[in-house]
């Protein structure tokens, strides 16, 4: 009888201890950072697929004209991977630093490059306005 009582008290404490975990809501800044990073990944996907309409959708007019040259999608295939490093949120401007690696097949040549880019994003709606430092979308225009 004592064993049953002790086991039921222990199980009661375990149930209470496990059921009281609180989940903190995601902060507004974190949601903003996630949305901006998602926009950058969508832009990368549009670039790899050579979808100019989608690239324009994820950039401002100036951002498109200054970050994508006419020959920017003149490749047979491309593979880009991005890794976010930090996000700086200031009013309606968000700056995201991402390291990237890319592999292109360009006029029959394999090109491997990497770098660190600072994406300046405005919004909402979030759109890339500038790309500072090593722009992964202009690697081929420099060749």
DSSP string, 53-100: HHHHHTB-HHHHHHH--TTTT--SEEEEEEEEEEEEEETTEEEEEEEE
Taking only the tens place, the pLDDT of each residue in 26-64 is 788 888 889 999 999 999 999 999 999 999 999 999 999
3-state secondary structure of 35: helix
How big is the chain by its Cα radius of gyration, in Å? 23
pTM, full prediction: 0.79
Distances (CA, A) of 81 to 5, 8, 15, 62: 58, 53, 44, 24
Q: Where does the pLDDT of residue 5 fall: very low under 50, low under 70, confident under 90, or very high at 90 and above?
A: very low
The residue-averaged pLDDT of 93-105 equals 94
């Amino acid at each position: 009888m004592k064993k049953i009582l002790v086991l039921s008290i222990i199980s009661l404490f375990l149930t209470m201890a496990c059921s009281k975990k609180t989940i903190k809501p995601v902060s507004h800044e974190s949601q903003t950072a996630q949305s901006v990073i998602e926009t950058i990944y969508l832009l990368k996907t549009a670039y790899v697929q050579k979808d100019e309409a989608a690239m324009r959708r994820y950039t401002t007019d100036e951002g498109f004209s200054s970050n994508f040259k006419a020959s920017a999608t003149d490749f047979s295939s491309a593979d880009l991977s991005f890794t976010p490093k930090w996000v700086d949120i200031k009013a309606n401007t968000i700056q995201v630093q991402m390291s990237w690696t890319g592999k292109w097949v360009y006029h029959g040549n394999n090109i491997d490059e990497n770098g660190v880019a600072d994406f300046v994003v405005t919004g909402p709606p979030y759109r890339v306005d500038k790309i500072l430092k090593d722009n992964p979308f202009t690697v081929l225009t420099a060749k």
